[in-house]
Structures are given as structure tokens and as C-alpha cells.
Structure 1
Amino acid sequence: MDKRTGVVTMGGNPMTLVGKEIRVGDKAPDFTGLKGDMSSFSLKDAGDKKKIISVVPSLDTGVCELQTIRFNEEAAELEDVAIITVSVDLPFAQKRFCSANGIDKVITVSDHRDLDFGLKYGFLMEEVRLLSRGIVVLDGENNVKYVEYVDQVGKHPDYDKALDAVRSI
């Protein structure tokens, strides 16, 4: 199991990221999680659309909330793009969050049960069993075109770079 210590901090404390670090040019691995209705989600379910995978520690925190709302708003301007938000929040909490915030263009996926996404994409913070913040952009064939592991969990990702990456595909 790959481990990278101190790559990201949470509250000033270094965290150990567990799993394979994803890089531009990699073929994105399939992963599974649960949607808000407890049905299974697989990356394959997004088909051959371009994809933005928005990774957040918990939807019930300020930056995560704003990140998810931002991508939900951006979705209206993007054609043939699936936006997938992944966290370890329980599916019920994700569903409640989406209902309360009018999130209707983003697919929320819970990685709580198996941590399949976190381990395959290298976003799992070992010390707290949460996902680190970041963004992965994939083309229609699931090739990685952009990836950002945000170095401080409390910081926003670079939305503009991610959006530019998906628009340039």
C-alpha cells in the first residue's frame, strides 16, 4: 500500500495519504460507492462523458459545501460532463445535504463503506479516515487529464484550472 506522509495538512497537522497517487496520463481506475438512495455507483455509470471528480472530506463543512455548490452551478454551463462529488459521508447525509442546498446536477457518492475511491486514487487520510480535498478531471475514456491534491484541507481547490482542463478536452 502506497503511503505519502505530510503531503497534505489538516488543522496544521500532517496527514498520511494512503493509496496510489493518480497522475495526468494515468488510466483512471473504476471505483464503487453508494449514492444517496443506497444504490451502487461505479465510474462506469458515468459512461463516456468527460468527468470532474470533486473530492471533499465532508459535505457538512464550509469549504466542502462551497466546492459542491460551485460545481453544481458550473454544471449548467458544461456540456457532456458528469460531475461526481465523493466523500466518506454516509449516503443519507449526502442526500440530506443535496436536498437542503438544491444540488441537482452533481452525483454524490459515498466512499464510507469500502474506501474504494480513496485507496485507488490516493486521497485517503489515514489518521482521520476522511478523504483529502482535490479534483480529478477525466476524458470520455477515463484518462486523467488534470489532478489536484490540495495541500491544506481547509483551502479551496483551483476551480479555474479544473474547469479549463475539462473544457479543453
Structure 2
Amino acid sequence: MKVKFKGNDVELKGKQFAVNETIPDFTVTDPNMNSLSFKDTTGVRILLAVPSIDTSVCDLEVATFNDKVKDLPNITCYTISMDLPFAQARWCAAKGIENVKIYSDYKDRSFADVSGTYIKELGLLTRAAFVIDSGNRIVYADYMEEVSSQPNFDQVLEAAKNAK
């Protein structure tokens, strides 16, 4: 699949998620260098793939979801990027991020490989948003056509609220 980065075509490696598929397991790393296997998560989950949390577009996206999910106790929001866990920890502390869980895919590209979010030319994840129900079924999947575009916050949240 091709998307645009600053107006230029870039190629996403792998197969993209589709609605009604079961999400495969993957492993990512938290800011404290602990691994998380997706199979160990439960409930309704929002997954946000971003190129780098330390950019203005990603900053706004994560801050917006951080604010919006605080009133949704049955929904867990995860942001995944290729940023190093140390940088993620600094950024989260500086921005007061408490309601979104931040993970890195730097080590194994496990999430990138299963989700088709890896931009080969840049070594980064594309911007994408997914909602996973409690049965691990993908109920919402959106890959931004332009990496610098924001996801539709209302659509993502509505899909999460309607997921079981």
C-alpha cells in the first residue's frame, strides 16, 4: 500500500489490517523497557500508530486522545511508534500523558510487521488508527493517506464506544 509523506509516495511494508479480521499477537516495549505482548491485553482497545510522538502532529494526536479517553474507563488507548523508550518516557513526563499507554516498536518491529504500518523508506510507522474489540476483532481500521494528517477522532472514539 502507498501513502504520502510530505506529498511524496512511500510504501508500507506488509499486509494492512482490515475490519473483521482477528488481530495477530505482537510485542512492543514500554518506556521502562518492559515488553508487552498484545495477547496479554483485554477489553476494547484503541491502537494508534504514529511516526514519532515528538512531532507537532503526533503530539496533538496523543494529547487529544489522552484528554478524550479519560472519561472512557472501559477503553484502553495505546500509542505505538519507533521512538526509543527513553525518549517516550521523557515526552510523556513533559506532556503529562496519563490516559494513553505509550509503546515502542523499535526493537523487533513486531507491530509494524503484523499491521502493515512500516514505511520502508523512512524506518518509521505510518499514521493509522485501529479499534479492537474484546474478542480481538478489528472493528475499525484507518491508514491515513497522508502521514501528516490526523485521524478522525470522533470516528475512532465512536467505534470504540460501540465495540463490545
- Which interval holds the TM-score relative to the shorter structure? over 0.9
**TM-score, structure 1 as length reference:** 0.94
* Correspondence for 1:80: 74
What is the CA RMSD across the aligned residues, in angstroms? 0.8
> Given that residues 50 and 138 in structure 1 are in contact (C-alpha distance below 8 angstroms), is that contact kept between their aligned partners in structure 2?
yes
CA-to-aligned-CA distance 1:53-91 (integer Å, 9 cap, x gap): 011000111010011111111111213111100000000
* Correspondence for 2:117: 123
Match of 2:159 among 131, 142, 165: 165
**Percent identity, aligned pairs only?**
37
Gaps (5+ residues) in structure 2? none
SS of residue in 2 equivalent to 1:147: strand
Gaps (5+ residues) in structure 1? none
Q: Aligned partners of 1:148 and 1:62: how far apart in 2? A: 20
* Correspondence for 1:42: 37
SS of residue in 1 equivalent to 2:63: helix
**TM-score, structure 2 as length reference:** 0.97
Q: 1:12-161 residue pairs with structure 2 within 5 A?
A: 12-47=7-42, 49-161=43-155
Deviation at 1:105, TM superposition (A): 1.3
SS of residue in 2 equivalent to 1:76: helix
> Given that residues 46 and 82 in structure 1 are in contact (C-alpha distance below 8 angstroms), is that contact kept between their aligned partners in structure 2?
no
Deviation at 1:44, TM superposition (A): 2.4
Aligned residues: 163
* Correspondence for 2:4: 9
